[in-house]
Amino acid sequence: MNFNSREINYIKLFTFTEEQQKQIFKVYDKLCEIYNVSVIDIKDSPLFGFKPVIENQDFVPQICYLVNSENNSFYLYIVIRIIHYNRKYNVRTQEFLEVWGIKELDEDFEYISINKKKWTDKIAEIFSSFNVNIKDHDFKDFYVLGSDQYKTMSFLNPKRQETIKLFPDKDFKLEIRNNILSFGLSKKLSTARALQISKFLKDI
């Protein structure tokens, strides 16, 4: 593989194993077949406007792609996820790669969180003051939490509801803070997942 033809910072590459490098380039090549992709400095992306991400020490973004599709743009991040396993006599950690996305929205929607239903009713009741009732019967399988009901409903127009319902993996995490949307899966990096998240960010 000819690294000279790549945009990815050489120093960043040494963070990864050879197998991880191959996986990263495979994802990059596939994205480039569909979108206009540039590798940019993470500091030049909106990531630092999303505090839940940057304050999580077990979630370490390493590479940022600026992805353009027609008049639409979003950011994809190759992230190192650190998992801690507490054993009786020691603590073991494991690292793996994830892909995560961020998109800047045209409006300030304050706080919104959307998940496929899997929490217990008790947990749902804790957040009952934030619950937003969606009239669409087909959207009943999702928990929608929003700090402003009217802004939440404005975000969840029929097109966006359909985009969310069509996402193939039920374990997604969607969160909005003001005008920044964060979306991803806490699962190991794969080309399929990178393409799924990219399509979602383009359509949303």
Q: What is the mean pLDDT of the chain?
A: 82
Q: Give the integer Cα–Cα distance in Å for 200 and 189.
A: 16
Q: What is the pLDDT at residue 141?
A: 80
0.75 surpassed by pTM: yes
pLDDT (0 to 100) of residue 37: 94
Positive or negative, the CA dihedral 133, 137, 139, 141 is positive
Task: Write phi, then psi, for 74 (nearest 5 degrees).
Answer: -160, 175
Strand order in the sheet with 91-104: 36-40, 59-69, 72-86, 91-104, 180-185, 172-177, 111-116, 142-146
Query: What pLDDT does residue 189 have?
Result: 94
Residue 1: band (very low, low, confident or very high) from pLDDT cuts 50, 70, 90: very low
Would you give the DSSP letter of residue 59?
Answer: E
For the record, the structure tokens of 14 come out as 């040494």
Query: What local confidence, expressed as pLDDT, does residue 11 receive?
Result: 47
Structure-token pair, residue 145: 């939490």
pLDDT digits (tens, 9 = 90+) for 144-198: 888 898 999 999 999 999 999 999 999 999 999 999 999 999 899 999 999 999 9
What ranges do the domains of the chain cover? Answer: 1-104+188-204, 107-178
pLDDT band for position 70 (50/70/90)? confident
- Compute the distance between CA of residue 65 and CA of residue 67 in angstroms, rounded to an integer: 6
Three-state SS string across 167-179, please?
Answer: CCCCCEEEEEECC
pLDDT band at residue 58 using 50, 70 and 90 as cut-offs: confident
Q: Band of the pLDDT at 63, cuts 50, 70, 90?
A: very high
pLDDT tens for 117-147 read 765 544 555 555 445 666 666 677 888 888 8
The torsion region of residue 178 among left (phi > 0), alpha (psi -120 to 50) and beta comes to left
Structure tokens at 135: 């009239």
Q: For residues 12 and 170, give the distance between their C-alpha atoms in angstroms, rounded to a whole number.
A: 31
By the 8 A CB rule, do 194 and 121 touch?
no
Residue 48 has pLDDT above 60, yes or no: yes
Nearest to 9 by CA among 82, 65, 76, 69: 65
Percent of the chain with pLDDT over 70: 77
Average pLDDT estimate for 15-41 = 91
At residue 2 the predicted structure's pLDDT band, cuts being 50, 70 and 90, is very low
